[in-house]
Amino acid sequence: MKTEIIQFSLQLEIIHMSKWYPVVRYDTAHGFAHRDIIHQDNSVDKIPIFCLDYADALTFAEADLISNWRLYKNMFVEEVNSND
């Protein structure tokens, strides 16, 4: 029997200046799979993930965070530093 993914949420968080920040989140809230890019001011850029099903979207999300976490971290830190 194949396991069906009915919802998911994965979130990358970093510590910067002794404070935790969410940086990127993949989830299925709002009825579709998407990536949220979370900014220092808590505004969010919502980017749809076009996959056949939630299992494929979850696999994509895991691979993206494993491969690109440093990039997401650096982008967030640069944004924070440019706003100081």
Q: Which one, of 14, 44, 3, lies nearest residue 27 by Cα?
A: 44
Determine, yes or no, domain membership for 56.
Answer: yes
Tell whether 13 is covered by a domain: yes
CA distance 42 to 73: 15
Per residue in 11-51, pLDDT (tens digit) is 999 999 899 999 999 999 989 999 999 999 999 999 999 98
What is the pLDDT at residue 76?
A: 96
Whether 43 is in a domain gets the answer yes
Is 69 a member of any domain?
yes
Judge whether 4 lies within some domain: no
Q: Is the pLDDT score of 64 beyond 80?
A: yes
**76 falls within a domain:** yes
Q: What is the pTM of this model?
A: 0.89
Is residue 42 exposed (0-12), middle (13-18) or buried (19+ Cβ within 10 Å)? exposed
